[in-house]
Amino acid sequence: MIKKLFLVLVVALLPGLALAAAPGVPLDNMEPDHTNKASLQRGAATFMNYCMGCHSLEYARYMHVAEGLDISDQLVEENLIFTGAKIGELMKIGMNKQQAANWFGNAPPDLTLESRLRGEDWIYSYLRGFYKDETRPLGVNNVVFDNVGMPHVLVDQQGLCAVKPKIGQKSSIDPLSGNERNAGVCPEWASEGSMSPSEFNTAMYDLTNFLSYMGDPVKVERERLGVFVLIFIAIFFVFAWLLNREYWKDVH
Ligand code: HEC
C-alpha cells in the first residue's frame, strides 16, 4: 500500500521535474504587471506594428483586448488593426504557414499562449538576445534561441549587437570605457539603433508584459476575486463553528 502511494506521488511530481529541467541558458528576470495599462497599451501597439505581420494571436479577439486594455473600439479599429479585420474577429493573420516555413525554416508560431509556454523571463531575454552572425542565412542569431529562424525585426530600434549580448548576467557595463552606449546587454555594437539601451529595455518590457497579459487576461480579476473568496470562507467559518458548537452542546 505504502509502495503504491509512493509510486503515485512520484508520477504526480514528474511534470514538475520536466519543467524544472527545461532552461539551459541564463535569463534576465521580468516581473509582469497586468495592472499597468499604459505599459500593456504600448506593448500592444508594438506588437501590432512589428510582430503581427508574421505572428497571429488567434485565440483572442480584438474587442476583448480593447476592453481589457481600456482602449476604445474605435481607436483599436483605426490604429491597431492592420489586417482589415472587424473588431469582433479573432486576431488572425494572412500569412501562409507552408510558405512561411519555406522562407524562415520554421513557420512563425501563434503567440497567444507563448508566455505560458516559455515564461516571461524567456520572452524578455529572447527579444533582447539578437546578435550579428554572418554564418546564419539572415545574418543574425539569438543567445536564447540558437539558430533562430526569425529576423531581428527591431534592429532599427535596438541596433545590431556585434557580439553575444550578456543576457542573464548581473553587471554588463564596460569597466574600461564606462561608455553609456555600452551599458545594458551589449558590449559592442555593429550598428546603432534609434533607441538607447534603456529605452529599448522598457519597450521590450512592455511588449513582454502584453504577451504575458494575452496568455492570462483574467489574472488580475482572478486574484481580486480570490481575496473575496478567502474573506467569505473566513466569515463563513465563524458561523459554521458556532453552529457546530450549538449542535454538540448537549452531547456529552
Ligand atoms: C518576418 C517575420 C517575423 C516577424 C515580423 C516577427 N517574427 Fe517572431 N518569429 C518568426 C519566425 C519564423 C519564428 C520561428 C523561429 C524558429 O523556430 O526558428 C519566430 C519565433 C518567435 C518567438 C519564439 C517562438 C517559440 O518557438 O517559442 C517569439 C517569442 C517571437 N517570434 C516573438 C516575436 C515578436 C515579439 C515580434 C515583434 C517584435 C516578432 N516575433 C516578429 C518570424 C517573425
Per-residue pLDDT reduced to its tens digit, 212-223? 999 999 999 999
Indicate the DSSP class of residue 162.
S
Instruction: Locate 95 and state its grid cell.
Output: 500569412
Atom 42, ligand 1: which residue's CA is nearest?
150
pLDDT band at 181 (very low <50, low <70, confident <90, very high): very low
* 150 CA from centroid of ligand 1 (Å): 5
Residue 21: per-residue pLDDT: 45
In the predicted model, is pLDDT for residue 208 greater than 70? yes
Residue 184: per-residue pLDDT: 76
Q: What digits encode the pLDDT tens for the residues 105-141?
A: 999 999 999 999 999 999 999 999 999 999 999 999 9
Residue 115: per-residue pLDDT: 97
Task: Evaluate: CB of 150 within 6 angstroms of ligand 1.
Answer: yes
Residue type for position 158: Q
Helix axes 120-127, 197-215, angle to 10 degrees: 140
Atom 3, ligand 1: which residue's CA is nearest?
54
The residue extents of the domains of the chain are 26-215
Atom of ligand 1 nearest to the CA of 103: 12
Question: What is the DSSP pairing of strand 159-161 with strand 57-61?
Answer: unpaired
Mean pLDDT for the stretch of residues 202-220: 96
Q: Which of 150, 157, 211 is the best mutation target for the ligand 1 pocket, counting ligand atoms within 8 Å of the beta carbon and taking the most?
A: 150
Q: Are 58 and 90 in contact (CB under 8 A)?
A: yes
Instruction: Locate 149 and state its grid cell.
Output: 529562424
Residue 17: per-residue pLDDT: 56
The CA distances from residue 246 to 23, 37, 232, 251, 252, in Å, are 56, 50, 21, 10, 13
26-215 CATH choice from 1.10.8.60, 3.40.1360.10, 1.10.760.10, 3.60.15.10: 1.10.760.10
Indicate the DSSP class of residue 142.
E
Residue type for position 205: Y
Task: Evaluate: CB of 103 within 6 angstroms of ligand 1.
Answer: no
Q: What digits encode the pLDDT tens for the residues 16-69?
A: 555 554 557 889 999 999 999 999 999 999 999 999 999 999 999 999 999 999
In the predicted model, is pLDDT for residue 178 greater than 60? no
pLDDT band at 180 (very low <50, low <70, confident <90, very high): very low
Task: Evaluate: CB of 88 within 6 angstroms of ligand 1.
Answer: no
